[in-house]
Amino acid sequence: MPATATATAIAAAKRPPAAERVYAHVKKAVLERRYEGGTLLTEGELAEAVGVSRTPVREALLKLEVEGLLRLYPKKGALVLPVSAQEIADVVETRLLVETHSVRKVVPAPAGLLERLEELLDQQRVQAAAGDFAAAAGTDRRFHAEIVRGGGNEILSRLYDQLRDRQLRMGVAVLHSHPDRIAKTLAEHEEILTALKSGDAEAAVAVVTRHVGWFQNLARGEVR
């Protein structure tokens, strides 16, 4: 077998299965709001976009429907579900329970955690300046996840990780609809970090409560 043919075969073998490629493509686009709530996706369009047949597209869409991102309509396609007021309220309530508990537990914060938070804050500043809301929302989630992991409770960490997709989608939606929020987010992250550096657990809890609780304002209606 010629070298080029061998290389092509190896590359093909390393590619994820077709359904996984469709799943990853659609999920990323939904979370980053390139497919916004209310968008109707058709199997044919997705098959063409990813370069696969319709069979793996159906498999991927079924999985995304189970995850609550889409609703399937036979012979029509899949509707991207908007972020609901109830979903925002539920996520905020869970985040407050987990994060206020975790931020108390990390005090006194180890040097390694403080360094990681500093790096993530710097990274988010760069992303915000570039207007990359999807990346900034992802870094925002990692900033808070580091604190939760720092609390040392693996069960709470796994619970928090289950909120990841919802947090990312909400975060991108918020930054698009409230572009001034990114400056406040960076300032509040700085406040959290300052409180942790000084060993003031209650100050850190107060900032986290204000920071996460702001999202309750969005629970009055759909995120646009």
Residue 15 has pLDDT above 90, yes or no: no
Percent of the chain at pLDDT > 90 equals 58
Range name among 16-30, 45-59, 161-175 with the lowest pLDDT average = 161-175
pLDDT for the residue 4: 54
At 222 the pLDDT is 42
Mean pLDDT of 177-187: 84
Ordered DSSP codes for 78-130: EEEPPPPHHHHHHHHHHHHHHHHHHHHHTPSPPHHHHHHHHHHHHHHHHHHHT
pLDDT (tens digit per residue) in 71-103: 999 888 999 988 777 888 888 899 999 999 999
Query: Could you report the per-residue pLDDT of 130-174, keeping only the tens digit for each?
Result: 988 888 888 999 999 999 999 999 999 999 988 887 777 777 767
Q: If pLDDT is split at 50, 70 and 90, which confidence band does 7 have?
A: very low
CA 190 to chain centre: 20
Q: How much is the mean pLDDT over the chain?
A: 86
Q: 21 is written with which tokens?
A: 């490629």
> What single DSSP character describes residue 40?
E
Position 84 scores a pLDDT of 78
Contacts for 139-144: CB closer than 8 Å, 24+ residues apart: 140/171, 140/185, 140/189, 141/167, 141/168, 141/171, 143/117, 143/189, 144/95, 144/99
